[in-house]
Structure 1
Amino acid sequence: MNPVGYTFLNQHYNLLLPKLGLEVYQDMDSDVEKTVTYGASKRLVLPKSRKNLSTPYENMLAAIKYQGIRLHFFAAIFKVVDEKELTAFIADKPMAQLNRVIWYLYEWLTNKRLDLSALTSGNYVQLFDDRFYFTLTEGVRDKRTRVVNNAIGTKDFCPTVRKTPEIVKLSETDVYQTAYEEVQRLGKTISADVIGRSINYLYTKETRSSTEIENEKPDKKRMQRFLNAIKNAGLFELSKDKLIDIQNQIVAENVRASDYRTIEIYVGTTIQKYGIVDEDVHYVGAKAEQLESMMSGLLRTHDNLMLDGKIPSLIHAAVISFAEVYIHPFDDGNGRIHRYLIHDVMKQREPAHKFIIPISAAILKNTERYDEVLESISKPIMAMLDWELDAENGNGIIINNDIDYMYRFPDYTEHVKFVYEMMNFAISNDLIEEICLLLVFDIIKKSMDQIEDIPNMKLDTLVSIIVSGGGTVSKRKRAMFLQYLDEEQLIEIEQKSIKIISEIQEKFDINIQNLVIKTD
């Protein structure tokens, strides 16, 4: 079979780019077009009746037709393409739609002009077909090629999100509305006070969960600073200075930044075996010299999405937050900033919503899925990157090649899907579970309020012990209760508590015991 599209271009230009989820080939023995499974990917097999594409320029057209615009491929191709041949190919049919798209892409991504006269007539065409991609509503018109650049980003940083059937369906979901509906499902017994207290707890849970994902145990002061940052998300314009301010709030004082990092950085694990110390390098951030342009592009992408306002806010949040963690602009704190940005963007886009959906808590319960999504981009980057540990600097790394296009032009389709999954998981689990836990606490507390001898300051502690024990009090804790009531009263309270917990668990299909912090 003969390679077609990006598959052909990858081989022709010796790009060594990782294969796509769909590769295209032409089978000269086949009479029908078909899609076949090929390991973890798929192959679109074209029949012999299709034109045999022998030049790289014909295959550029086929790549867009069958596999869509993959900016990282074109950015790599344009570094090595024969400019005169490309010019001649476009000049042969300058009005053809895909010829104009390639013409525009070349001049946009390289900041060079081909030796072609500007078009003076003809309809404008979209750079990205909005049937297949999430795009800006208006875009910028290029009079020279008569192409509308409706990409969500810039040439410095431009992510794409494809409109797969699954993503389109998810994008129609309003996660806040879903959360409201879930809370309403709990019934009229839920007071504003209970919801308010659960939200306050979820802020704390989000802070702890985001930290635990990093396998860190920061001091209370830093935890409080991060909690404050989460609570104030969305109140300030997203800018370089604000990102630095957030980084300063959530890291130790000795690693606070005053600018983007100036050295290369990697994420890894130190391995010591048989007296030999080695580093297992998982991921290498973008080159330090390219951070300013990439982060400028990221912030411009955020501005584009804010001004456009049509792309769903959760897609916007996913794009900006994952972009930050892959670029890795700081020496420390990138992971927590990544998860902070989800809340920050959501609050900027939808400020009327007063509660938090604890996505970090959901991620913490789904770390394998999180790693899988991160690796969809980190693995290809690491497979292409030529790096070595810096022998003169024990904590340093040297990058020997430039694959900036892998950082600048990511496809975040899977990342968007993941963020929706985690939001829905957080709504149906953490949000509802916490409200149910507080509901159990309040009902049991109300039943004990009638016992006048229990001081108010002690009551919460006693109720917590009962809830933690599933409605019963252990022998070791029993003496605390018997200071205020006799054994018969305690047994009666236990019976009531067991019944209350059982009713809530059955009604809302949760396990209270899985939610509480054990006191014994």
Structure 2
Amino acid sequence: MPHRLTGNERYAGQMGLRHRFGLRVPEPFTISIVGAGQRRSHTQPIHQIERYPVSYDKGDDAISDLKFAIRYEPLELGLLKAAFRAMGPEPLEDWVRREPSGQFARRAWFLYEWLLGERLNLPDATIGKHVGVLDPALQIGLYGKPSRRHRIENNLIGTPALCPTVRVTANLKELQALNLSAQAKKLLADADPLMVLRAVNYIYSKETKSTFALEREDVQGSKADRFVAALQNRDNADIASEAGQTALNNLIIGDSRYTVTGWREEQNFVGENRLDSHNKVHFIPPRAEDVKSLMLGLKDLLRCHQISKDLLYWTAERKLSPDEREWLAPGPSPHVSPTVVCALASFAFVFIHPFMDGNGRLHRFIIHDMLERFGFTPPGIVIPVSAVMLRDRRAYDEALERFSASIMPYIDWHWRDDGKGGFEVVVENDTADLYRYFDATPQVEYLYRCIKEAIEVDLRNELTYVAQFDRGLRALNDLSAMPDRKAQLFVNLVISNGRIGADKRQRHFPELTDEEIERFEEAVRAAKEAATPPPDDPPPSGH
């Protein structure tokens, strides 16, 4: 493997800490190796291998590895927390005393106290330039809240209770530069308002069917109506609280026999559920006793970003660096891009799996809620993200599996007879930090791609279809006195298939002659072509 060590090499940075202390935590994304040879980089699907010449090797000890990590690597908070516990406070206290103004020592000091909730035996810092905990060239961060004790700007994108991280990648830079929110708003603004309303009403139904289909469920009737109503009234939803999430979950379930009173109090798992201990397990969520602290952490994470958005943490004196500005939404109140916040919240929710059922649907509901709440979409507008996910289910599964595959080797568990004729999962070790601190980069990139496709393909196509349908119907009505419902069916069939097939002719339009059908088809096709914009133009108004 590309990160296999040769005889004169050793791991440095966070991989060095993991190797040194034998930590049972996922490998860091960036694996640094020091030794003979030149500076080299090698990109793998789940790792970035960085080889450094021996001149970068400043010592074969824990503090040297920690300093290397903070200086050169995107930080992995779960790994650092485990390393801090393993090394104890004394080495870090000695380092800060030796380098009281050093930014790497002060950043490590802050992280130790922030992650462990334990105060080091050190006086408050009095010297040293204020710097961010995260390097904005390597990881996305909030506009920092000052920590006077450490002379550090806390730009972490969560709290100790839940704090994912997001690496700055070339893909994310390209996606961020597209300004998808502006694209969506322009697409909607350029279309006729009534046409937008009709398209959005259809998208609500389409999104409902798609989100249930992702759970392999064919939804219809009152159950579909309840989910559509929840989407349409999501501005009234309280997605951050246990009560609000429970109410939403019960609304979607609809059957009082299966409603719940709050977050789960038993262990669940994702897999194939059989009546013996041969169940196939794909993913094990947190233990029931950890759900509350993680979900309160999610609530605090959302509050952090809302506070940042509302300028409560801001000081006019500090200017943003280009790296920081790139990941903050434009306007008078810069904050982390809504798509990033949306991915953090929605995927953290589904990874925690706070309910025994319905987590996937609520996870996708949160996407819609957050996009509107943080100003990505205008009020009442839904971007058909679930439709994109359904169209490429494998990509959606891969986004989920990037997380589950990374943590499953570190969960000790066994089957136990549940006393009800089946078996249940029992988790044996403390796993909370696996869900509390994770690299959300794959999920953020994935959601960006979904939203991009949903805007450029699905939303655009729905607006265009409404315009095509309107013009086609007018063209048909100019030639025929066909009843409304029959005329609408005729237009839909021609727009979708280009013509009326023989079977459809006989079943739905037996009264029409072949000559009439051909003439009507040609009129609808011409209307459709007139209503179809060039690829880079906005959909027509329908007039």
TM-score norm. by structure 2 comes to 0.85
Q: Which residue type is aligned with residue 365 of structure 1?
A: R
Identity, % of aligned positions:
27
Aligned twin of 2:24: 16
The aligned counterpart of 2:65 is: 59
| 1:96 pairs with 2:99 | no
Question: What is the distance in 2 between the residues matched to 1:370 and 1:206?
Answer: 15
CA displacement 1:306-330 (0-9 Å, x = unmatched) = 1212111111111111110011111
Q: Is the alpha carbon distance of 1:220 and 1:52 closer, same or farther for their aligned partners in structure 2, counting shifts above 3 Å? A: same
Q: Does 1:2 align with 2:10?
A: yes
Which of 325, 340, 349 is 2:374 aligned to?
A: 349
C-alpha distance in structure 1 between counterparts of 2:56 and 2:468, whole Å = 68
* 1:416-455 equivalence runs, <5 A: 416-451=444-479, 453-455=481-483
Cα gap change, 1:129 to 1:508, in 2 (>3 Å): closer
Partner SS for 2:279: strand
CA positional deviation for 1:89: 3.3
1:81 aligns with 2:107: no
- 1:446 offset after TM fit, Å? 1.1
The Cα of 1:237 is off from its aligned counterpart by: 4.3
Residue 274 of structure 2 corresponds to residue 268 of structure 1: no
Unpaired runs of at least 5, structure 2: 1-8, 310-334, 537-543
Alignment check: 8 A CA contact 1:21 1:41 kept: yes
Partner of 2:489: 461
2:356 alignment partner AA: D
Q: Post-superposition shift, 1:263?
A: 0.8
* Kept in 2: contact 1:251–1:332 (CA 8 A): no
1:338 is aligned to 2:363: yes
**DSSP-derived class of the 1:80 partner:** helix
Q: Is the 8 A contact 2:15 2:27 kept in 1?
A: yes
Map of 2:502 onto structure 1: 474
Partner of 1:314: 339
Distance in 1, matches of 2:516 and 2:219, equals 43
SS where residue 54 of structure 2 aligns? coil
Find the partner of 2:53 among 18, 23, 47: 47
Task: Name the residue aligned to 1:233.
Answer: 234
> Aligned partners of 2:116 and 2:189: how far apart in 1?
53
Q: Which of 180, 183, 195 in structure 2 is aligned with 1:175?
A: 180
Corresponding residue number in structure 1 for 2:413: 387
Aligned partner letter, 2:18: N
Is the contact made by 2:471 and 2:531 (CA closer than 8 Å) also made in structure 1?
A: no
2:294 is matched with 294
Moved more, 53-62 or 342-351: 342-351
What do you get for the CA RMSD once the two structures are aligned? 2.5
Indicate the SS of the match to 2:246.
helix
How far residue 505 of structure 1 moved from its aligned partner, in angstroms, is 6.7
Structure 1 residue 499: Cα displacement: 4.0
Helix, strand or coil at the partner of 2:283: strand
One-letter amino acid of the structure 2 residue matched with residue 477 of structure 1? R
Structure-2 separation of matches of 1:507 and 1:147? 52
Q: Deviations over 1:274-302 (max 9, x none)?
A: xx772111111112111111111111111
Aligned residues: 498
Pairing 1:212-223 to 2, within 5 Å after superposition: 212-223=213-224
Which runs of structure 2 are paired with 1:133-144 in the superposition (5 Å)? 133-139=139-145, 141-144=146-149
Q: Give the superposition deviation at 1:183.
A: 6.0
> Is 2:436 the counterpart of 1:408?
yes
For 1:485-504, list aligned pairs within 5 A. Answer: 485-501=512-528
- TM value normalised by structure 1: 0.88
Residues 5 and 59 in structure 1, CA contact (< 8 A), matched pair in contact too? yes
Moved more, 499-508 or 96-105: 499-508
1:508 Cα deviation from its structure 2 partner: 5.2
What is the distance in 2 between the residues matched to 1:46 and 1:176? Answer: 40
Task: Identify the residue that residue 148 of structure 1 maps to in structure 2.
Answer: 153
Of residues 433-442 and 33-42 in structure 1, the stretch that sits farther from structure 2 once superposed is 33-42
Q: Does 2:398 align with 1:372?
A: yes
Displacement of 1:197: 1.0
Q: CA–CA distance in 1 between the matches of 2:182 and 2:423?
A: 47
Shift of 1:252: 4.8
Deviation at 1:414? Answer: 1.8
Supply the distance in 1 between the matched residues of 2:478 and 2:281 (Cα, whole angstroms). 61
1:507 to partner: Cα distance: 4.9
Give distance in 2, aligned partners of 1:463 and 1:193: 19
**Residues 182 and 428 in structure 1, CA contact (< 8 A), matched pair in contact too:** no
Kept in 1: contact 2:285–2:352 (CA 8 A): yes
1:229-281 per-position Cα deviation (integer Å, ceiling 9, x unaligned)? 11122334443121111111112533322111111111102469xxx772111
C-alpha separation in 1, matches of 2:462 and 2:100 = 62
Deviation (angstroms), 1:490: 2.5
State the 1:39 CA deviation.
Answer: 8.2
| Residue 124 of structure 2 is aligned to residue 118 of structure 1 | yes
Of residues 247, 255, 261, the one that matches 1:245 is 247
Equivalent-residue separation in structure 2 for 1:482 and 1:217 (angstroms): 33
> Match for 2:347: what amino acid?
F
Match of 1:518 in 2: none
The gaps in structure 1 that reach 5 residues or longer are 510-520
Counterpart of 2:196, as a letter, is: I
Q: Letter of the 1:361 partner, please give it.
A: A
Aligned AA (1:245)? A
String of CA shifts for 1:121-168, please: whole Å, max 9, x gaps: 4433321223332222241x3332222222121110011122223323
The answer as to whether partners of 1:26 and 1:48 remain within 8 angstroms in 2 is yes
Aligned: 1:361 with 2:387: yes
After superposition, the Cα gap between the structure-2 partners of 1:376 and 1:473, relative to the gap in structure 1 and judged at 3 Å, is: closer
* Counterpart among 144, 160, 169 of residue 165 in structure 2: 160
Distance of 2:287 and 2:263 partners within structure 1: 11
Instruction: Tell me how far apart the structure 1 counterparts of residues 45 and 401 of structure 2 sit (CA, whole Å).
Output: 18
The answer to whether the 8 Å contact 2:385/2:450 transfers is yes
- Which one is further off, 460-469 or 299-308? 460-469
The SS at the match of 1:381 is helix
